[in-house]
Structures are given as structure tokens and as C-alpha cells.
Amino acid sequence: MIFMQNLPLVSIICLCYNHENFVIEALNSVLSQSYGNIELIIADDYSTDGSEKTIKNWLEDHPNIKFIVNESNLGNTKTFNKALQFTKGDYIIDLAADDILLPNCVETQVNTFLNSKQKKLAIVYGNAEIISENKDHLRYYYKVGVEKKALIKPASGDIYLSMLNQSSMICSVSSMVKRDVLQELKGYDENLAYEDLDLWIRTSRNYNFEFIDAVLVQKREVKNSLGNQFYKKFNRRTRKINHSSYLVIKKAIALNKTKIENKALLKRLHYEMTKAYKTFDIWLFIKYIPLELRLRFS
């Protein structure tokens, strides 16, 4: 990796779990960045396919790159926090091993941080091209028009209300986080099955975000992607994911300070209640009722 003393160090954590067919492309996309001051840390979360062997073979040509191999499956949040302890960068990228950074991704993100007029900027994020397992184009995360610019730009600045009421979405795979903020928040919440919504809400409570109107990454859509799990009936993983959303809402209630914020969070709560109802998770549906009452009358 090229070291550039005058530019901030960026730490990229590549998390792998059964991504044997994709991980090499993800790793090579890091090495192909136009930005030179990058450290790469790879973590395999006890894959059951050939991911570990594939990565070790690749590392023969890159022996100085840190590789963490879990002795049991810890999950994404715990594995990320484990890898985060080894990072030294000013900024952090969480790269799934089936996604691809476009060559100017890191350079564009760092330049946005360095030149932004936003005060207390914690996260920058851009657009993503959604691709199939075979790398065919499917769509863009945010619909684009001329020159691949977003037709409707998502939120920048103080986005706390937008995160509560779902009026704007963050493309997490295209995001870069300031290290100091991640440390202040103590990384990902290891009680959760997924990390992004909780991180956005906790971060946006006190910090600003900035949208970059450019396609920065390619996000691969596979059968076991998180977004395909929300509405499966009698599915253990679905229940775990949706229970995590319940925990995120409980945490958000504690962060809220105004009735307007409570009203915004009610919209998300109703969305999560609908998911619980449609997946026949009646106990989870019932658990939401006191939260609704608290938001309505506090």
C-alpha cells in the first residue's frame, strides 16, 4: 500500500462470511483505489465455505495485510468491533466481502470530509450501483438521471428526524465514518443482528452527515442479503433481525428530546409493527404496544 504522509489514513475493514466467490474482487477493489493512504484489515467470521483458504492464498502476494480468523461465528457487529481494535485510520469503511469499491471511492469520501462546510461532520455517504451475483446491473440505490446524479437527493446535515421517520435512507455500503465518532459510540452495538440503523440514529443525534452525489460502490444483491430477510415467516434469522429493530427503537426513545421526535419515531415503530404482524411474530408485536403508548403520551 502507498503511504502518503500529508493525507489522512483510511482504515478499511473487509468482513467476510461465506463470500468465497466474491472476496477477491472486494479486496482488489481496495488495492485499486486512487487514494494511497489506506490500511486494509480482513476478518473472516468462521466461514463454512472456502473463504478462509481463498483469502490466505491471496495474502501470499500481500503478506503485510492483517487477517483475523474467528474460531467461531461471532456475527457482523462483534467481528467488526474486533477488527476495529487493530485500525489506526482517521476514517473507517465497513466493506462487506461481496461488495466493490469503485476506484475513486475513498478519494471522493476523504475530499468531502476535508472540504465540507458541515460542522461536526461524522459520516459521508454516496450512491451505489446494485448488481447481481454475476455482476449484472440491476438498479441504483438512489434513482439517477443525467450523469448518474440522484433524482431526489437524500438528507445532509442534521438528519436525526429523517432517520427516525424513514423520510430519507442512508446507503451504508457507500459510507465512511470518522474514527473519533465510532470510538465515542463504542463501535457497533453487539446486542444487535445488524448495525447500520442503530449507528445512523446514535450518530445523527449529535453529529451531521453529508451526501455525495456520485456512485461510489457496487453493492451485490445475493439471496441471503439482509434486505431479503425482513418478511420471512417462522424464520429464525428474520426474528432475530426484527427483534434488533425493536431494540433500536427502544434506544431511540431514550435519545429523543421533543414531541416532534417522538412523533417521527412513531412512524418507524408502526413500520416495524407491520413487519412483526406479517411474519406472525405476535410476541414482538405485543412488545411494541407499550412503546407506542410511551411515544404518544410522553
Ranges for all domains in the chain classified under CATH 3.90.550.10? 10-226
Residue 277's φ and ψ, nearest 5 degrees, are -65, -45
**pTM of the predicted model over 0.85:** yes
**Residue 224 pLDDT:** 64
Q: Looking at the predicted structure, is the pLDDT value of residue 31 above 70?
A: yes
Mean pLDDT of 55-74: 97
Q: Compute the mean pLDDT over every residue in the chain, rounded to the nearest whole number.
A: 94
Q: Looking at the predicted structure, is the pLDDT value of residue 41 above 90?
A: yes
**Residue 233 pLDDT:** 83
Residues in contact with 10: Cβ distance below 8 Å, sequence separation at least 6, in sequence order: 35, 37, 38, 39, 89, 90, 91, 92, 93, 106, 109, 110, 176
pLDDT in tens, 238-253: 999 999 999 999 999 9
Contact between 157 and 70 under an 8 Å Cβ cutoff? The reply is: no
Q: Looking at the predicted structure, is the pLDDT value of residue 226 above 70?
A: no
21-39 b/e (C-beta count within 10 Å ≥ 16 → b): bbbebbbebbeebebebbb
Q: Looking at the predicted structure, is the pLDDT value of residue 4 above 60?
A: no
Question: Which among 10, 62, 64, 71 is positioned nearest to 43, based on CA atoms?
Answer: 71
Contact between 232 and 144 under an 8 Å Cβ cutoff? The reply is: no
Q: Would you state the CATH architecture of domain 10-226?
A: Alpha-Beta Complex (3.90)
237 to each of 46, 227, 231, 269, 298, how far by Cα in Å?
Answer: 17, 12, 10, 20, 33
Q: Which amino acid is at 154?
A: P
Task: Give start and end residues of each alpha helix (H) in 195-258.
Answer: 196-204, 236-255
Task: Report the 10 Å Cβ neighbour count for 218.
Answer: 22
Q: In whole angstroms, how large is the CA radius of gyration of the chain?
A: 19
**CA-angle at 214, arms to 179 and 110, nearest 5°:** 30
pLDDT in tens, 107-154: 999 999 999 999 999 999 999 999 999 999 999 999 999 899 999 999
Segment (H or E) for 267: helix 259-278
**Residue 35 pLDDT:** 98
pLDDT band of 269, cuts 50, 70, 90 = very high
pLDDT band of 230, cuts 50, 70, 90 = low
Question: Which among 199, 202, 179 is positioned nearest to 188, based on CA atoms?
Answer: 199
